[in-house]
Amino acid sequence: MIGESWMTTTFGKLEEWAQKNSFWPLPFGTACCAIEFMSTVSSHYDVARFGYEVVRFSPRQSDVMIVAGTITDKMAPVMKRIYDQMPDPKWVISMGACACSGGFYRAYHVMQGIDEVIPVDVYVPGCPPSPEGLIYGILQLKEKIRRDRQKRRKGANADRAAADGSIAAA
Amino acid sequence: MTRAPHPAAPRPYRYTLAERLYLPLLAGMMVTLKHFVQNLLGRRKSYTIDYPEGRRRYSHRYRGHHILTQRPDGSLRCVACFLCATACPAECIHIEAAEHPDVNIEKYPVVYDIDMLRCVFCGYCVDACPEEAIIMSNNHDMAYFSREQSIVTKEELTRPYTYDPSRLGYRPEYPEEQARKLAAGVVDLVGEARSHPAQSSAS
Amino acid sequence: MPTVPPPTAPLPLLDRLPAGSVVPEEGCDQETWIVHREVLADLALALRDDAENRFDLLLDLCGVDYPERDERFEAVYHLCSLPLDRRLRLKVPVPEDDPVLPSLIGVWKAANWFEREAWDMFGIRFEGHPNLRRLLTHEAFEGHPLRKDYDPARRWILPQEKVYKPLPVPEGETDEDIFERMTINIGPSHPAMHGTFRVVATLDGERIVASEVEIGYLHRCFEKMSETHTWQQVIPYTDRLNYCSSFINNVAYCRAVEGLLGIEAPPRAVWARTILSEFSRIMDHCVCNGSTLVDAGALTNFWYLFQPREEIYGLLEACSGARLTVSYCRIGGLAADLPPDFVARSRVLLDSIPEFIDDVDRLVLKNRIWLDRSVGVAAISGEEAVNWGWTGPCLRASGVASDVRRDHPYDLYDTVDFEVPVLHGGDVFDRFRVRMAEIRQSLSIIRQLLDRGMPEGPYIVSDPHVALPPKDAAYNQMEAMIYHFKLIMDGIQVPPGEIYSMVEGANGELGFYVISDGSGKPYRIKVRPPCFPIFSTFSRLINGGTVSDAVVSLGGLNVIAGELER
């Protein structure tokens, strides 16, 4: 981010536009939420209208991991491994009550939220969240990427301004 | 009742001559071609709902975000009886009660938190409430960026999280209320069901 | 000499066993014998083979923990004789200091996974079982979770190093040959594994020569959760068992508890339950067939078959408020009255669903590509399937006409005309065709019930000890308010007893074995998942086939992880 010029900022905007408008989700679906995810990619709700229909089951080829369903302690090492195999930049959407917090399974084999092992960007509540809810969550992720990028740009310029006393506009 | 003995060996399907020659594939391709042409020429109504610009109609019983109702004077109807917290299978409702100056009302909740990430939206809290103090809205679209943000407090629950305040979700409906709605012709239920089954789920 | 003979046919086999080792129990909902463990193996063989008994189907085996008793555990076997249409329950007490039973895997192959589960959950060891390892919980788990002294929230972490890495070897081979073959891991995060199943397969080229199936990746402890919640609060948990047709699970559970209470739901509720169960069955078959076709590469059918699901969701949402996990049944009836447009909406569905099913039929049913992929794949004969514990559409595709709706009719099934489709191929193609035929039969059942007309009357029993009083009464009358309060706080007080109640789920016989000790919470609920014994056969089905055959055969079995692993 040092030495920002109009070219790098424009490329940065292009990169951000491409990233947030075509997530390649990795549906890590285990339970009932996976069925609602299937409904979301079906013709009734059609997440392809946003550009997210390329579901890739291989972590090497995806950006967003949508964890849909309960993650048990037996599944946790598998999920961590899949998350580690994803290349940067990557995001995680935790879909449904079980993935977010364990839901109503306060039990001996259920992880009380996937944020015990991986960082989560967006939590979508519901049991299961309706497809509108999931699309809302994905759009919030899109918004988050835009905001994070702006924050990073503003942050870098603010550092530079503080360092050499000059005013730099992003 | 005795049954025939169980078959000891499977007898698989035998192909007909037409199937062997791949002929029925043409019939299959005609199906997809017909759908394609109909969609292209706009003859068939598309099933897709253009969320977020458009929405389908949700039923009157939709179990969405919770709403704490208010009395005419603006105070919460809730009397902190803890029935909803007991009925909840996920134990996601946290209430702290305090004494209310009015002797008829007795108690009110100082803290009323719902952990939205634990909630399974089963509606048991609405069923359990003796005061109609908690109902559910028709909106299920929520997303949070952190676990702390998801614990919804009393103040946020009082503002109805709904996209259409005139149509709420899951709440106690006496049989008289439904009959009254039908009699007043408020909604043409049968007509809606026939017009487009996928789009309307009004009730 | 033996004790009192059981009420049905006389059984001379009891003469061959030592006196007092088999004692019939009185006052149960079905024929129950208490058996000493020394004679269990002989008794099982005789029950299966004797001409008067012919108990060829082991429905369920579970453990129950009675910590106050001397013989702490009890293994409960539910048997069914398909030819003679009889049911039997065997209870075998097991002491805590020596919890060993003979394995019945030689008698019924279905016992394989059931015994592993009993070991996992209770610690009952089965001698003679070839692979007695934990089934549902993970490798680093310690303790036996369904024992009464196990804290429900006590978790154990599974580190990466302890993950089980098997090396399946074909029978009769030594390890020297292994270096020419490759062992791969299919799943648990795999698009064709429908969620969370793991198959470790040893391949010779593309052919699978040996395989091992690992499950437990979605074990959500339903049975333990049901012991810590009230009877009414278990209903949302039952929704999430077979989540593709959740209403049927609600009905099965509520019928079991109503059986224990000795009450019956009113006619309006029974009518609605039958219709909505058939709609749920249609939904489940749509998902199963859609996923099978997707796994074979036919994506268009998946979209076509999902649209009927969406339309049925509209009806379920109008009734209950949620699309997938409906929680619409309550003990004694329904949660709320049917919406005023229920009949109109159902008729509209009856007209619109056949169009999608016909399209898929035209695309696929005579399509040689699909026939080549599915005819003869994962074929199993009726006799072997019954020994493995199969029920439902998969068994009907192997030539055995068994359907709970026909053999033990419940709700309104004995008053409608419907056929039970039976085919003889036992392979993926016939399972597919049986499900398509069942969708059409379900539509016919619904049409007949709608033509009969909606019964008037209440939608739930009016017993205030079982059902919440109506809201206008609860708001205005003191007595109703007190009943309401007691029901929420203490729960329904179900009298002590036990019952095994079954319905025809979309996959087969969904049974609930419920034990009550008289309090507001269940003592033990065991779900008999229809896909559990079916999936235990998976290894035998795919050995010898290719990997692509394995993928297609998994789809055809309709294994739903929520139900498989509870």
- pLDDT above 60: residue C6: no
CB pairs under 8 A between A and B: 89
C339-361: average pLDDT: 91
Q: How confident is the model at residue B196 (pLDDT cuts 50, 70, 90)?
A: very low
Q: Is C59 inside a domain boundary?
A: yes
Note whether B186 and B201 are same-domain residues.
Answer: yes
- pLDDT above 70: residue B166: no
Q: Is B184 inside a domain boundary?
A: yes
What is the count of structural domains for chain B? 2
**Chains adjacent to C (≥3 CB pairs closer than 8 angstroms):** A, B
Nearest-by-Cβ selection for A74 from C158, C306, C309: C158
The predicted pLDDT at position C175 comes to 62
CA dist B109 and B78 (Å) reads 7
B180 contact partners, CB below 8 Å, separation of at least 6: none
Interchain contact, A133 vs B141, CB within 8 Å: yes
* Residues C400-441: tens digit of each pLDDT: 999 999 999 998 999 999 999 999 988 999 999 999 999 999
Interchain contact, C82 vs B197, CB within 8 Å: no
Q: Is C232 inside a domain boundary?
A: yes
The predicted pLDDT at position A3 comes to 60
B136-143: average pLDDT: 86
Q: Is C499 inside a domain boundary?
A: yes
Residues of C in contact with B175 (CB under 8 A): 337
CA dist A13 and A29 (Å) reads 32
What share of chain C in percent tops pLDDT 90?
67
What share of chain A in percent tops pLDDT 70?
85
Note whether B168 and B90 are same-domain residues.
Answer: yes
Enter the DSSP assignment of C201: E
CA dist C63 and C57 (Å) reads 18
From the CA of C561, how many Å to the nearest CA of chain B?
19
Interchain contact, C218 vs A75, CB within 8 Å: yes
* Residues B118-132: tens digit of each pLDDT: 999 999 999 998 888
- pLDDT above 80: residue C192: no
Name the amino acid, one letter, at C40.
Answer: L
What is the count of structural domains for chain C? 2
Q: Is C448 inside a domain boundary?
A: yes
From the CA of B148, how many Å to the nearest CA of chain C?
22
- pLDDT above 50: residue C443: yes
From the CA of C557, how many Å to the nearest CA of chain A?
17
The predicted pLDDT at position A20 comes to 82
Question: How many other CB atoms are found less than 10 A from the CB of residue B135?
Answer: 21
CA dist C462 and C510 (Å) reads 28
| Mean of pLDDT over chain C | 89
The residue count for chain B: 203
Q: Is B147 inside a domain boundary?
A: yes
Q: Is B74 inside a domain boundary?
A: yes
Enter the DSSP assignment of C148: T
The predicted pLDDT at position A4 comes to 67
Note whether B195 and B113 are same-domain residues.
Answer: no
Nearest-by-Cβ selection for A110 from C151, C163, C220: C220
The predicted pLDDT at position C13 comes to 67
Q: Is B47 inside a domain boundary?
A: no
Interchain contact, B89 vs A104, CB within 8 Å: yes
Note whether C235 and C365 are same-domain residues.
Answer: yes
The bridge status of strand C125-127 relative to strand C100-102 is parallel
Output the CA angle C119-C125-C129, nearest 5 degrees: 95
C505 contact partners, CB below 8 Å, separation of at least 6: C242, C245, C248, C249, C252, C392, C530, C563
**Chains adjacent to A (≥3 CB pairs closer than 8 angstroms):** B, C
Nearest-by-Cβ selection for A104 from B120, B147, B198: B120
Note whether B77 and B137 are same-domain residues.
Answer: yes
The predicted pLDDT at position A159 comes to 54
Q: End of a domain among C98, C127, C156?
A: C127
The predicted pLDDT at position B176 comes to 59
Note whether B107 and B180 are same-domain residues.
Answer: no
Interchain contact, B13 vs C375, CB within 8 Å: yes
Interchain contact, C369 vs B174, CB within 8 Å: no
CA dist C316 and C322 (Å) reads 7
Is the distance from CB of C466 to CB of C263 less than 8 angstroms? yes
C8 exposure class (CB count in 10 Å sphere: 0-12, 13-18, 19+): exposed
Note whether B157 and B189 are same-domain residues.
Answer: no
Question: How many other CB atoms are found less than 10 A from the CB of residue B46?
Answer: 12
From the CA of C33, how many Å to the nearest CA of chain A?
33
Helix/strand/coil (H, E, C) string of C103-145?
Answer: CCCCCCCCHHHHHHHHHHHHCCEEECCCCCCCCCCCCCCCCCC
Interchain contact, A97 vs B50, CB within 8 Å: no
Interchain contact, C400 vs B28, CB within 8 Å: no
Nearest-by-Cβ selection for B117 from A100, A121, A139: A100
Is the distance from CB of C85 to CB of C407 less than 8 angstroms? yes
Q: Is B19 inside a domain boundary?
A: no
CA dist C194 and A39 (Å) reads 15
* Residues C113-143: tens digit of each pLDDT: 999 999 999 999 999 999 899 999 999 999 9
- Paired tokens of B142: 């929520």
From the CA of A22, how many Å to the nearest CA of chain B?
17
CA dist C426 and C423 (Å) reads 7
Note whether B127 and B153 are same-domain residues.
Answer: yes
- pLDDT above 50: residue B192: no
Note whether C227 and C111 are same-domain residues.
Answer: no
B91-117: average pLDDT: 91
- Paired tokens of B39: 């969609």
- Paired tokens of B125: 């809290």
Q: How confident is the model at residue B188 (pLDDT cuts 50, 70, 90)?
A: very low
What is the ipTM metric for this complex? 0.88
- Paired tokens of C403: 């359907």
- pLDDT above 80: residue B11: yes
* C:79-118 residues touching chain B, CB 8 A cutoff: 82-85
CA dist C503 and C403 (Å) reads 9
Q: Where residue C385 sits, what CATH number does that domain have?
A: 1.10.645.10
Residues of A in contact with C562 (CB under 8 A): 31-32
What share of chain B in percent tops pLDDT 70?
81
Residues of B in contact with A102 (CB under 8 A): 118
Interchain contact, A106 vs B91, CB within 8 Å: yes
**Chains adjacent to B (≥3 CB pairs closer than 8 angstroms):** A, C
Note whether C104 and C232 are same-domain residues.
Answer: no
The whole domain housing C431 covers 222-565
> Cα dihedral angle (C365, C370, C375, C378), rounded to 10 degrees?
-120
Is the distance from CB of C140 to CB of C146 less than 8 angstroms? no
Nearest-by-Cβ selection for A136 from B89, B120, B143: B143
Give which of B196, C240, B202, C510 is closest to A35, Cα–Cα: C240
Note whether C280 and C418 are same-domain residues.
Answer: yes
Q: Is the dihedral of CA C94, C88, C270, C483 positive or negative?
A: negative
Interchain contact, B15 vs C236, CB within 8 Å: no
Q: Is B96 inside a domain boundary?
A: yes
A96-108: average pLDDT: 92
Residues of B in contact with A71 (CB under 8 A): none
From the CA of C35, how many Å to the nearest CA of chain A?
32
* C:502-541 residues touching chain B, CB 8 A cutoff: none
> Does C308 touch chain B if contact means CB atoms closer than 8 Å?
no
Interchain contact, C56 vs B27, CB within 8 Å: no
Residue B11 CA to chain centroid, in angstroms?
A: 46
Cross-strand pairs, C125:
C100
Give which of B46, C396, C482 is closest to A48, Cα–Cα: B46
Give which of A130, C307, C339 is closest to B138, Cα–Cα: A130
The predicted pLDDT at position B57 comes to 80
The predicted pLDDT at position B181 comes to 60
Q: Residue C1 in 3-state DSSP?
A: coil
> Does A107 touch chain B if contact means CB atoms closer than 8 Å?
no
Q: Is B139 inside a domain boundary?
A: yes
CA dist B97 and B85 (Å) reads 12
CA dist A127 and C459 (Å) reads 26
Q: Is B36 inside a domain boundary?
A: no
Interchain contact, B198 vs C310, CB within 8 Å: yes
The predicted pLDDT at position C10 comes to 46
In b/e form, how buried is each residue of C405-425, taking b as 16+ CB within 10 angstroms?
Answer: bebbebbbbeebebebbbbbb
Interchain contact, A82 vs C325, CB within 8 Å: no
Note whether C234 and C117 are same-domain residues.
Answer: no
- pLDDT above 50: residue A30: yes
Cross-strand pairs, A122:
A93
Q: Is C201 inside a domain boundary?
A: no
Residues of A in contact with C191 (CB under 8 A): 57
Q: Residue C36 in 3-state DSSP?
A: coil
Mutation site for B-interface testing, chosen from C309, C488, C489, C537 by largest number of B Cβ within 10 Å: C488
Radius of gyration of chain C (CA): 24
CA dist C487 and A169 (Å) reads 65
The predicted pLDDT at position C376 comes to 87
Q: Residue C554 in 3-state DSSP?
A: helix
* Residues C273-308: tens digit of each pLDDT: 999 999 999 999 999 999 999 989 888 899 899 999
| Mean of pLDDT over chain A | 84
CA dist C327 and C243 (Å) reads 11
CA dist C260 and C29 (Å) reads 9
- Paired tokens of C442: 């379900």
- pLDDT above 70: residue C26: yes
Interchain contact, B52 vs A133, CB within 8 Å: no
Interchain contact, B118 vs A137, CB within 8 Å: no
Interchain contact, C233 vs B89, CB within 8 Å: yes
CA dist A44 and A39 (Å) reads 7
Domains and CATH numbers, chain A: 6-164 (3.40.50.12280)
C263 exposure class (CB count in 10 Å sphere: 0-12, 13-18, 19+): middle
Is the distance from CB of C326 to CB of C316 less than 8 angstroms? yes
CA dist C478 and B128 (Å) reads 15
Q: Is C135 inside a domain boundary?
A: no
CA dist C444 and C482 (Å) reads 45
Q: Is C345 inside a domain boundary?
A: yes
From the CA of B133, how many Å to the nearest CA of chain C?
12
C315 contact partners, CB below 8 Å, separation of at least 6: B201, C276, C279, C342, C345, C346, C349
Q: Is C431 inside a domain boundary?
A: yes
Can you give the pTM of this predicted structure? 0.91
Is residue C228 within a helix (H) or strand (E), and if so which, with residue range?
helix C222-228
Radius of gyration of chain A (CA): 18
Phi-psi label, residue C427: left if phi above 0, alpha if psi -120 to 50, beta otherwise: beta
- Of B10-14, B26-30, C9-13, C352-356, least confident by mean pLDDT is C9-13
CA dist C523 and C496 (Å) reads 9
The predicted pLDDT at position B202 comes to 36
* Residues C259-281: tens digit of each pLDDT: 999 999 999 999 999 999 999 99
CB pairs under 8 A between B and C: 193
A58 contact partners, CB below 8 Å, separation of at least 6: A26
Is the distance from CB of A82 to CB of A59 less than 8 angstroms? yes
The whole domain housing B97 covers 66-172
Interchain contact, B147 vs A113, CB within 8 Å: yes
Q: Where residue B147 sits, what CATH number does that domain have?
A: 3.30.70.3270
Give which of C522, C497, C523, C500 is closest to C511, Cα–Cα: C500
Give C260-327 as a DSSP string.
Answer: HHT----HHHHHHHHHHHHHHHHHHHHHHHHHHHHHHT-HHHHHHHHHHHHHHHHHHHHHHS-SSS--
Q: End of a domain among C69, C99, C127?
A: C127
